Amino acid sequence: MRRYQKRGIIAVLAGLLAGLTLLICVRRTALPVDASAHLSQQKLIALTFDDGPRRSTTTRLLDGLAERGVKATFFLIGKQLADHEDVVRRMDREGHQIGIHTFDHVQLTDLNQADFDAQVVTTRTLLKDILGHNDFLLRPPYGKWDEGVKKRAGCPIILWSIDPEDWNDKNTDRVVNMVVNQARDGGIILLHDIYPQSVDAALAIVDKLHAQGYYFCTIDQLFAARGISLNPGEVYWNAYP
Catalytic site positions: 50, 192
Count of residues that bind Zn ion according to CB under 5 A: 3
Q: Where are the beta strands (DSSP E) in the chain?
A: 43-52, 73-76, 97-100, 137-138, 157-158, 187-192, 214-216, 235-236
Going from the C-alpha of 10 to that of each of 3, 4, 180, the distances in angstroms are 11, 10, 54
Which region, judged by CB under 5 A, interacts with Zn ion, from 25-33, 51-59, 61-69, 147-155? Answer: 51-59
Residue closer to Zn ion by CB (options 51, 200) is: 51
Which region, judged by CB under 5 A, interacts with Zn ion, from 49-57, 108-116, 207-215, 231-239? Answer: 49-57
- 51 contacts Zn ion (rule: CB under 5 A): yes
- Measured in residues, the chain has a length of 241
Ranges within 87-116 binding Zn ion (CB under 5 A): none
Site string for Zn ion, 115-144 (x = CB under 5 A): --------------------------x---
Residue closer to Zn ion by CB (options 141, 187) is: 141
Residue closer to Zn ion by CB (options 160, 216) is: 160
Nearest Cα to Cα of residue 48 among 66, 74, 69:
74
Provide the 8-state DSSP code for 232: T
Q: How near is the Cβ of 39 to Zn ion at its closest, in Å?
A: 28
Q: How near is the Cβ of 47 to Zn ion at its closest, in Å?
A: 15
- 164 contacts Zn ion (rule: CB under 5 A): no
Residue closer to Zn ion by CB (options 74, 216) is: 74
Provide the 8-state DSSP code for 39: G
Q: Please, are residues 189 and 48 in contact by the beta-carbon 8 Å criterion?
A: yes
Instruction: Identify the burial level of 229 via C-beta atoms within 10 angstroms of its C-beta, where 0-12 means exposed, 13-18 middle and 19 or more buried.
Output: exposed
- 50 contacts Zn ion (rule: CB under 5 A): yes
Q: How near is the Cβ of 179 to Zn ion at its closest, in Å?
A: 17
- 166 contacts Zn ion (rule: CB under 5 A): no
User: SS3 of 13, please?
Assistant: helix
